[in-house]
Amino acid sequence: METKIFKPDQIDQAAAEIKKGNLVSFPTETVYGLGADATNVQAVEKVYQAKGRPSDNPLIVHVADISTVEKYAQPLNEKTKQLIKQFWPGPLTIILKLKPHVLSSKVTGGLKTAAFRNPDKEATLNLIRKAGVPLVGPSANTSGKPSPTLAKHVYHDLNGKIAGILDAGATDFGVESTVLDLSTNHPTILRPGAVTSQAIEKVIGPVVDEQKHVGKTEVPKAPGMKYTHYSPTASVQIVDNENQWKSVTEWAANQSGKVGILATDAILNDYNWPQNVETYSLGNDVKSASHALFAGLRNFDLHSDITDILVEGFTTEGIGEAYMNRLNKSAGQKHFE
């Protein structure tokens, strides 16, 4: 199967593929998703096959309006309504209790809950409306690889495995949505994203941060968080302090292979990089760094001679929390020393 590229003026064709039970990748404000009709079990099964994703890992249901959520979920409480009003459309995914037997266990991973998200991307909202069904949408990467922030990343991973890609250019934030579990009495952040815990707490009061509570031996509540992720083939290390970069240049010069450096312009311009170093810019702050992180890791992954990648760390404030969460997973917690 040749994977077609659809432009935003070809949404009818993309929607026709979804209605046929085929897979179409869609853009969002976070990363590209791998879309299928959430009400068609065979279509949902194809998503797991195309990604090579473990089938106990539930999928986010992407909706164009709140009434679709009300159709599947148990009556929304006041906190849920307030969060929806404040943050939708936008990068906040909420987990809600379902009515019985409304969604396939292929979507929910057998749980009694489901994750709902209203993406802030007009082309994709139109795709959902034209298809007339909600779309499941995991990130459109091969399982374990960095999430795609450009249509060409999706093409690289999934060409020949999916019917099409709706190309609306680069995504905005570059890290996946915040996942907030609202199915218990204690709202819990399962995955940090651009909607921060502080922003959520301003609307509904205290929330639990799952990252800070899960011991290493416990199974995380968001099944997806237990898998290795965002991993290029090369070894990845985090450079935590600005004053380490001088030692990085010396260390890199002693490596026999090529070294990739992912850092902001201030760092890249400040040092003389040895011959065996390739650089990739993270822009000038943590916001641009979040936008560029996955694209940068993918860029170095295409250079098979790069054996080591060193990436600038940031403090975990604002979107820095999501950035460091993804970077830590990619680096397997390895820090440059």
> Residues interacting with Mg ion, by CB under 5 A?
139
Residue 8's binding partner, choosing from Mg ion, ligand TXA, none, with beta-carbon cut-off 5 to 8 A by kind?
none
Does the annotation flag 139 for ligand binding?
yes
**Distance separating alpha carbons of residues 270 and 113, to the nearest angstrom:** 50
The residue whose Cβ lies closest to ligand TXA is: 224
Residue 230 Cβ vs Mg ion, minimum distance, rounded to whole Å = 9
Q: And the tokens for 255?
A: 């490596």
Residue 335 assigned ligand-binding role: no
Residue whose CB is less far from ligand TXA, 191 or 287: 191
Question: Tokens for 114?
Answer: 């489901």
Q: Which residue has the closest beta carbon to Mg ion?
A: 139
The CA distance from 173 to 175, in Å, is 6
Kindly list the residues in this chain that would bind ligand TXA in the complex (CB under 6 A).
28, 30-31, 33, 57-60, 93, 95, 108, 111, 113-115, 117, 119, 137-139, 176-177, 179, 190-191, 221-225
Q: Which amino acid is at 194?
A: A
Residue 291 burial by Cβ neighbours in a 10 Å radius (0-12, 13-18, 19+): buried
Tell me which of Mg ion, ligand TXA, none is bound by residue 149, counting a contact when its beta carbon lies within the kind-specific cut-off of 5 to 8 angstroms.
Answer: none
Q: Least distance from C-beta 140 to Mg ion, angstroms?
A: 9
235 annotated among ligand-binding-site residues:
no
Beta bridge pairs of residue 26: 33
Whose CA is closest to 214, among 228, 206, 225? 225
Strands 24-26 and 235-239: unpaired
**Sign of torsion over alpha carbons 85, 89, 95, 98:** positive
Whole-number Å distance between alpha carbons of 231 and 235: 9
What is the nearest approach in angstroms of ligand TXA to the Cβ of residue 42?
A: 19
DSSP 152-182: HHHHHHHTTTSSEEE-----SS-SPPEEEE-
Q: Would you call 311 helix, strand, or coil by DSSP?
A: strand
Please, which residue, 258 or 291, has the CB nearer to Mg ion?
Answer: 291
Give which of Mg ion, ligand TXA, none residue 231 binds (C-beta under 5 to 8 Å, depending on kind): none
The distance of closest approach from Cβ of residue 221 to Mg ion in the complex, given in angstroms and rounded to an integer, is 16
**146 interacts with, out of Mg ion, ligand TXA, none, CB within 5 to 8 A per kind:** none
Pairing of strands 277-281, 258-263: parallel
User: At closest approach, how far in Å is the CB of 128 from ligand TXA?
Assistant: 12
Residue 280 annotated as binding? no
Tokens of 199: 């922003």
147 is in an annotated binding site: yes
Four-residue CA torsion sign, 129, 132, 136, 140 = negative
Cα distances (Å, whole numbers) of residue 113 to 75, 77, 139, 249: 13, 15, 20, 49
Residue 210 or residue 308: which is nearer to ligand TXA going by CB? 210
* C-beta closer to Mg ion: residue 55 or 281: 55
Closest separation between CB of residue 30 and ligand TXA, Å?
3
Q: Is 57 annotated as a binding residue?
A: yes
Nearer to Mg ion, 90 or 224 (CB): 224
Q: 306-329: buried (b, 16+ CB within 10 Å) or exposed (e) per residue?
A: bbbbbbbbbebebbbbbbbbbbbb
Interaction partner, residue 179 (ligand TXA, Mg ion, none; CB < 5-8 Å by kind): ligand TXA
Output 111 or 166, the one with its CB closest to ligand TXA: 111
Known binding-site residues for ATP equal 53, 57, 113, 139, 147, 191, 230
Which residues are documented as binding site? 30, 53, 57, 62, 113, 117, 139, 147, 177, 191, 230
User: Annotated binding residues for L-threonine, as ranges?
Assistant: 30, 62, 117, 177
